[in-house]
Amino acid sequence: MGTQSLKLSILMPAYNEAGTVGIAVKRVLDLQYPCDMEVVVVDDGSADHTSEVLAAIDDPRVVITAHAANRGKGAAVRTAASLATGDYLLIFDADLEYSPDDILSMLAPVSRGDAEVVYGVRKFGASTAHSFWFVIGNRVNTFTANALFNTWISDLHTCLKLLPASLFRELPLTENRFGLDTELTAILLARGVRPWEVPVHYKARSREEGKKLTWGDGVVATKILLRVRTRKAITDRRARLHRPRARGA
């Protein structure tokens, strides 16, 4: 499917992002897309003025909904996906750490027919990383995923993930918080899906600027990877045990 014949739904979870969500939506809408698009924003129980900022947006391409209480990024992404009408889904955070310009680069492999699943890969540097431990944690989790699923992806925790809506909806996703990023990738890798990787721009916020990830999220990510890998091992073993034996074996 070329990009001219598809519709892109950009899923934007927002929790206490009054200072950035309006700018993020505007920058996403201002791009010249090679296809139809929409932005589905979920206000995940924000306690600041996020709802007021979203209420001021007047564009037919924007769909806005809200959770009455904070349920986590994963829950917000799943809610956005349930409302999306596009053929492809792209997760895009409201915090301006990523550049909307890279959305077009991620659509290119789909347009060429090179891939259905595309990841935006970050290159960490002194001016782009939140901290030493933030980068190390991401690399440790990424290495763990590669070892468990016999692959070589570059950035497990990237927000920018582009995939068909039909594929996303058939995945048994259960994580409500940041663990959804890990769970989504782990299940794809377990199924043999290998994302096409595209370099993207990134500038991490500091804790004072609103960064929400903690070291505990890295621990949770490791548990999710092990859970999905164990489930795959059990499923594979059952399949081998129930495989019909060849005659004469």
Contact 44, 51 (CB under 8 A): no
Cα 148 to Cα 151: distance, rounded to the nearest angstrom: 8
Residue 218, pLDDT score? 82
Contact 160, 102 (CB under 8 A): yes
Q: 210 exposed, middle or buried (CB, 10 Å; 0-12, 13-18, 19+)?
A: middle
Residue 73, pLDDT score? 96
Residue 241, pLDDT score? 82
Residue 90, pLDDT score? 98
Tens of pLDDT, residues 180-236: 999 999 999 999 999 999 999 998 855 555 455 676 878 999 999 999 999 999 988
Regions of the chain with pLDDT less than 70: 1-4, 130, 205-213, 215, 245-249
Cβ neighbours of residue 138 under 8 Å, at least 6 residues apart? 124, 155, 156, 157, 218
SS3 140: helix
